[in-house]
Every structure is written in C-alpha cells, then in structure tokens.
Structure 1
Amino acid sequence: MPNFDQSKAYAAQEEVFFDDGREVELLHFVYGKPDINQIRGNPSKVLQAIDDFGRTKKYLMNVGEDKGKIVSDLIAEVKPQTMVELGGYIGYSCILFGDAVRKAGGKRYYSLERNPEFGAVISSLVDLAGLGDVVKVAIGSSDASIKRLHDAGELKHIDLMFLDHYKPAYKPDLKLCEELKLVTPGSVLAADNVITPGNPPYLEYVRASVEQKRKWLEQPNGEGTNPDVRVGQKHINQYAKRGEPTALNASPGNPNLVYDSKLNHSFEPTGDPDAIEVSRCTGEESG
C-alpha cells in the first residue's frame, strides 16, 4: 500500500505539476535498484520500477493501468507503423506504448515533450528499457516539433496518435496534423483526460460533421461560436505557471475529414472517473 495520501498527492499535482525535482529523483531511484542489471533491456521491469517509486515515494501522473490497457489494445488492433504521443512526462506511456508498437510490428514511436528536463528523463528510461531502436524523443512545443519532424521528412504519416499534453493544444495540434496530411483516412486518435479535466473544444471538433466544420472556417476566427465550448480557465492558468504558450497555432486543418468518435470510459490511477476519446478517421469528403 502507498505510504502517502494518494488523493492529496493528486491535488498537489494540480497546483505544481510536479516541477519539484521528483522526476530526477525517479532516475536515481530506478538506477539505484539492486537488480538494475535485470531491469536493463526489459520494458516491463522498467515500468515496474517506476510504479515502485510512485507507490513508495512520490506520486507520478502516469497513464495508469486502466487507460494503458485501452491504448495498448488499440495498438494491437491498429498495428501502427508510426505512432506519436503528445506529452511524454517521464516516459511511462512512451515505454508502455513504444514496446506495444514494436511487438505489433511498428517501426517508430515519437514522444513529443515540451519540458527539456522531462525529455531527458524519458530518453534515459527509454534507453534503460532497450527501446532506443523504436522510440525517438523530440523536445519542444508540440506544434513546433510536429512541423520540424514533418519538414525533415522524418514524420510522413501518423497511424495512431495519443494526445496527453496541454489541453488547449489538442484541437490546434490535430488541425495542424490534418493540414500537413499527417492525419488522413485510416489514422486513429486517442485523446486522454477528456472528462478530467475535460476538453470540450476537442470533443466538439472530432464529433462535428464536415458541414459544421466548413461553416466554422467561414467565420472570422475559423472556430465555433459557443462560448461554453472551451477548456476550463483554471486548467489554463495551471499550465501557465509552467510557461505554456498562450498563443497556439492557427491551422485551418482539413474540415473534409470524417471521424467516427467514441468515448471510452476509464479511470485515473487515483480512481477518479475519466475517459479516452478514440476517433477514427474514416474518410474524406470532396470539397
């Protein structure tokens, strides 16, 4: 059993987003384990070591078993050659899903993380897990990393994308991927935290009809007009403490893409109810 109050730890997460050194402390904990030689090259043992830290030391905002299974099952079904995650934190999801992608015959898993310190932790743990042949960590804002990888010819298509980063960036980053033709018919999206803390703009977009999205593009700001369809200001303020950008990319996206989008109810590791929105791009209507 944990030796700390999980609910209080989760509440603290909403205030500090863990920029308190626990991520580097995790590295010392993992690499200091007496069975480190057995952990090397074994993704499941690396994940177990991270879980040990979270149970006995300090809470980490990882994807958790419930959500992890939803996405892992999706990987086994889709068998993506290329998967992208937006928001890597300390690499738990990256190791879990990167290993699943490799087992499914995939070639590349991109983990995009804005925080350079977190990115360094991800890279170290990925190397420890022996996943360096599949996983590539890109440090920088999500939209800049997407553009950079695309312009370099490294990222040509996204078969499966896991969104778990700055919530107001979900929709703009998806639209950027649409514009660059990285997301096309056949692409699948899995968006975390659409209930807790919630992401109304993203859900509105992936559930909208082509006709509705075309109408939005005709408006001055290219968006819907419902003021209630927005990410909570409290969440935006929390991320602002970490220096997240207030201006997001303004890609028009591709309103002609058709999505079949469904909510998959799940739970946070703390037991709080949440859900992952799985959106399958099923086609493209002519303009």
Structure 2
Amino acid sequence: MTVFDVSRAYARQEDVFYNDGRELELLRFVYGRPDLDKIRGNPTKVLEAIDEYARTQKYLMNVGEDKGRIVVDLISEVKPKTMVELGGYVAYSCILFADAVREAGGERYFTLERDPVFGAVIMALVDLAGLNDFVTVVFGSSDTSIKRLHSEGVLKHIDMLFLDHYKPAYMTDLKLCEELRLVTPGSVLAADNVIKPGNPPYLEYVRSTVAQKRKAVEGGEHELGVQGRFPDSTAKQYAWRQDGERLVSARGNPNLVYESRLINSFEPTGVPDGIEVTRCVREES
C-alpha cells in the first residue's frame, strides 16, 4: 500500500486502522530487531523503530513528525512540570513528548489509555525507551481516570494537556479538568485532529468568551451530549462507545479565559490537519 492509498483510506474511514492486531505486531517488530541493545534506553531510537514499522509494514495512527514538532516546541516554551496525554495508542507521542518534558526539567508525564492492549504496548515501549520512571501509564476511560487520579492526590494540576483520544470527549474532559481545578490560569492545551476528522464543539468552547460560556451554562447546554455533532465513524470510533456509555456531564468553569489559535499541520499520510493550541490566561470573577 502506497502513502497515497493510505491517505485515501484514512480519508474514507478514520477508524479503519484501529485495533486489527498491528499494535502487537509493532511490539514484536521492535523487540525482534537485531540492534535491540542499541535501541534500549534511547527514546529517539525507539521512535525511529516505530516509524520504520509504520513505513515498511502497516500504517499507525501516530501524531507524526509535523504535528509532533509543534507540540515539542510548545513543551520547550512552556516547560510543564506535569503533562497529561489523553489517548496514548502505541506510545509514539508519549515517548516523544515525555522525553521533551524531561529535557525541559519537568517532573511527571501521565498517559491515559482506555484500551488495555494499547496500554500494554505503551508500557513495553516506554520501558524500552528508558522512561518508565518518568511516565505513568493509566488504564481506563479518560474521565474516570482523571477523577481517580485527582481524588487520590496523584494529579494536582495540569500544566500542559495533549488531547488525542475519543473526539467527542475533548470538550467534556476539559470541562471536568476545569471543575476539578486541574486546568487553571497558566495551563496550556494542545488538541490534535481538530481539522481531520474535526472537533466543532471543542473549538467553539475554547474560542468562546466568558459571557458566552456563562450563558450556555445558565441555559443548561452543558447537559447536552455532543456525539450528534460528529460523523458516525467518529462518534462510533471505538467499540466500547457503542454500548450506550455516556460521556461525563460537566459544567466546567465558564470563568476561565482562553486564548486559542490553530496551527495548520499534516497527518503522516499527508492529509491536512491542525493542532489547536489554547492557553488559559486568567479567571474572571
């Protein structure tokens, strides 16, 4: 399959590559390399091995070089002490960003992943990269994991948040983080796939004024689900979301003021996409 063929397939169905066994094949591919000893403890070499599998074997829905560079540069600027990633897949973004956070003097990187198979792949590759003492891999739905980490006192504040999981959960998980005071003035958010497949509710929320958000809360709009704003292939992206499970209903903190902008970028397939970079600048009374 050529890159053009992959791009056409990706454009036709965003979840076509999801969970068909290639993730475990990747693990066998990386750990079966003859130069494994040279890879061990080297995040860059592990990323190169993942890229080689995606280039020569089967496509992987990783963040890619173009968008990855955007977030790494942002990490270098922000220097987050604690960074949280929602949606770890096969650890590519986790290894890339955690290494950057560590280089920037950070203290901890959390990657939250719902699929236990993907989570196992993440743990194995994070260990191979020598980052297991810096990265915490958390299994379970993102909202449940966020609430548990907060209640246990493990996660007290999010300096930087990378959103790359179930698209309808972007806005609801952000609101949950606002309610728990995990996202406050100074927090920086980077949201992937806001162009392809797109995320209208999230973009509207982070670009809204305080007055607009207060009006939405007063009107009870925070109670409404957002799945209907997405194509069927996105709303039903993951099998566990087809069993009637509802997204968490959160009021959020409408008093937070965001400055948000889109940075245009590309998927590894060449499909145009973008990273929405959002900074929480203050809280109005």
What is the TM-score when the length of structure 1 is the normalising length? Answer: 0.93
| Greater Cα offset, 139-148 or 11-20 | 11-20
Quote the Cα distance in structure 1 between the aligned partners of 2:71 and 2:32.
30
The equivalent residue for 1:135 is 135
Counterpart residue type for residue 252 of structure 2: G
Residue 137 of structure 1: SS of its match in structure 2? strand
Question: For residues 107-256 of structure 1, what are the structure 2 equivalents within 5 Å?
Answer: 107-222=107-222, 230-240=229-239, 243=242, 246-256=245-255
Q: Deviations over 1:117-146 (max 9, x none)?
A: 000000000000000111110010000010
Matches of 1:228 and 1:53, distance apart in 2: 33
For 2:137, the aligned partner's letter is V
Provide the aligned length of Structure 1 versus Structure 2. Answer: 285
Shift in CA distance, 272/208, structure 1 to aligned 2, threshold 3 Å: same
Query: What RMSD, in angstroms, separates the aligned Cα atoms of the two structures?
Result: 2.3
SS at match of 1:14: coil
Q: For the structure 1 residues 99 and 243, does the alpha-carbon distance in structure 2 shift closer, same or farther, using more than 3 Å as the test?
A: farther
* Cα pair 1:3 1:56 within 8 Å, conserved: no
Distance 1:215 1:253 in 2: 13
Q: Does structure 2 retain, via aligned residues, the 8 Å contact 1:216–1:223?
A: no
Paired position in structure 2 for 1:257? 256
Report which stretch shifted further, 8-17 or 55-64: 8-17
1:55 deviation in Å? 0.7
> Once the two structures are superposed, what CA deviation does each residue of 1:97-121 show, in whole Å capped at 9, x if it has no partner?
0000000000100000000000000
Contact 1:210–1:256 (8 Å) recurs in 2: yes
Task: Tell me the CA shift for residue 26 of structure 1.
Answer: 0.4
Quick check: 1:87 aligned with 2:87? yes
Matching residue's letter, 1:125: L
**TM-score of the two chains, using structure 2 as the length reference:** 0.94
Structure 2 residue runs without a partner (length 5+)? none
Does the CA-based 8 Å contact 2:175-2:250 persist in structure 1? yes
Tell me, in whole angstroms, the C-alpha distance in 2 between the residues paired with 1:107 and 1:152: 18
SS in 2 for 1:167: coil
- Asked if the contact 1:204/1:229 (under 8 Å) is kept, the reply is no
Measured at CA, do residues 26 and 148 of structure 1 come closer, stay the same or move farther in structure 2, by a change above 3 Å? same
CA shift in 2, pair 1:245/1:74, >3 Å: farther
Instruction: Provide the secondary structure at the position in 1 that maps to 2:280.
Output: strand
CA distance in 1, matches of 2:194, 2:3: 30
Q: Is the 1:158–1:183 contact (alpha carbons within 8 Å) kept by the matching residues of 2?
A: yes
Corresponding residue number in structure 1 for 2:266: 267
Look up the match of 1:61: 61
